[in-house]
A and B are shown apart, each in its own frame.
Chain A
Amino acid sequence: MLVIKNISRTFTAKDRVIQALDNVNLEVKDKEFICILGPSGCGKTTLLRIIAGLDSPTSGEVMLEGAKIEKPGQDRGMVFQDYSLFPWRTVIDNIAFGLEVMGVDKKERYENAREYLKLLDLENFGNSYPYELSGGMRQRIAIVRALINNPKLLLMDEPFGALDAQTRNIMQAELLRIWEKKHKTIIFITHSVDEAVYLADRIVVMSARPGTVKEIFCVDLPHPRIRTSLEANRIRDKVLKSLGTEIELRPTL
């Protein structure tokens, strides 16, 4: 279980103090799929970076299975919005990177990486370089690169934000397929209410800056979900209203 306790984070830019996060509290159960939604600049990414250990809170703490998070670790995988595959490494060497830094020998890590390529149906692309792949392929590989370390938690920062709508839908279905196979706890940041309703067990709506948890919606629909079903629409409506007031209240954001 992941426990986010009283997290606040302020940044100092020149002589201005900006409060990005204000007293955020959240508990995430094992194997849960959480989507975080919120207006731009509400600190979603900061929160995710704190969980990843790439940033530290000004106050409060994050505990993963009782242990305080202080730095990045292999128990938490991260998928970034921008293409983060190492361009000088082949696909298979990208996927195997986590095992390589752990000292796993080449044969074993390649075997392992090939299994993940198979899971993606990309067996023939092991020796390709990232520049040869489409955006969707790169993000799928970034996902399995994070999964190969068998993390407890998969953190995803708008991973499909740069993709076109069509590819995005395919990627969402693909992510659910991987999630059902590997059953990880996922925290997924998105701007898209559609995406959140399609993917999440729970949707966390954050308030505008300083970011805090405003409202949490449970999505009790079985997978695969029908994007246009009545229930999906009903939830989408509620989430949009909750988000909408956040955006209208602070039109400058």
Chain B
Amino acid sequence: MNARWTYYFILPSIFLILWYAVSRAEIYPVYIIPPLDMVLASFSELISSGTLFQHIFWSIVRVVAGFAIAAIIGIPLGIGMGGSNTLMRLIEPVTNMIRQIPPIAWVPFAMIWFKAGVVESSAFIVFIGAFFPILLNTISGVKGVPILFIESAQTLGANSRQIMTKIILPASMPNILSGLRIGIGIGWMSLVAAEMMGQDYGLGSFIINSSTVLRMDRVVVGMITIGLLGFLMDRMFKGLESSLLSWRGH
């Protein structure tokens, strides 16, 4: 256990040492590579004033809202499309085309459609980012359910509703969960794009607002916070996966 933990810290330590060395050498101006101590000072200042937590709070609210809507629409739609060729032909070309458009391209419309909404406009951008991985993974999960399981259930007396809830849903759960995991990851990554619309709070807004006044140390604080929280969220989903899917063995 101890040895494993040591491995986790090797690369970050090297990185911090290099960063510190470069800042001490004063090769670059502070707006190109903000010095480590400056960033740490900003970090502790933002934590003690509580500002950072306000930014975190609003970002999480937006991401959770966008992600939840993406899951609520994406999973049932994916199950429908995975199970029906007609629905697939009807919807797939459209979704596949929309999916190619990066979330940031939706920003102008998000601003017009949702006005100055504190949550809605950004949640919409997150939704765009999270929706397609959830949809596509659900479809491939449903399509991948072995016919053997469905026929076994039929011979054991299951009706079509029971086949849906007791066979197709649990059998495609591994794909649905990895869709959710990728979805929240991409949703979180869309934060900066989602919060470009002049909001006061949110980690994305914080980065943009800090960069306009050239406070690059604060930009770094925002980046690291996004990275750390994203990492924690991913670990949470990974834990959820391994506890829900313990039946897979290893």
Contacts and interface: CB of A to CB of B under 8 A. Distances in A.
Nearest to A76: B155
Most buried by A among B149, B156, B167, B248: B156
A97 interface: yes
Interface stretch (A77-85, A190-198, A202-210, A221-229): A77-85
Contacts of B167: 86
Nearest to A97: B156
Contacts of B245: 88
B247 interface: yes
A149 B156 contact: yes
B157 A101 contact: yes
A129 B249 contact: yes
A54 B151 contact: yes
A86 B173 CA distance: 13
Contacts of A74: 156-157
Most buried by A among B157, B159, B170: B157
Interface residues of A, number: 28
Given A88-B170, A101-B162, A78 B155 contact: yes
A80 B153 contact: no
Contact of A149 (B149, B157, B162, B173): B157
A190 B148 CA distance: 19
A145 B246 CA distance: 22
Contacts, number: 69
B249 to A, nearest CB: 4
A73 B154 CA distance: 7
A74 B152 CA distance: 11
B157 A132 contact: no
Most buried by A among B158, B162, B167, B171: B158
B148 A80 contact: yes
B156 A101 contact: yes
Contact of A77 (B149, B155, B159): B155
Most buried by B among A74, A97, A149: A97
B238 interface: no
Contacts of A149: 156-157
B166 interface: yes
A78 B149 CA distance: 12
A98 B173 contact: no
Given A130-B247, A146-B155, A146-B156, 15 more contacts: A54-B154, A72-B151, A72-B155, A77-B156, A78-B155, A80-B152, A82-B148, A84-B149, A86-B149, A89-B247, A98-B157, A100-B166, A101-B162, A131-B247, A131-B248
| Top 8 closest pairs, chain A to chain B, by CB | A74-B157, A131-B249, A78-B155, A72-B154, A98-B156, A84-B152, A88-B170, A129-B247
Interface of A: 52-54, 72-74, 76-78, 80, 82, 84, 86-89, 97-98, 100-102, 129-132, 145-146, 149
27 contacts: A54-B151, A72-B157, A76-B155, A77-B156, A80-B151, A80-B152, A82-B148, A84-B149, A84-B152, A86-B152, A86-B167, A87-B247, A87-B248, A88-B170, A88-B247, A89-B247, A100-B166, A101-B158, A101-B159, A101-B166, A130-B247, A131-B247, A132-B249, A145-B156, A146-B155, A146-B156, A149-B156
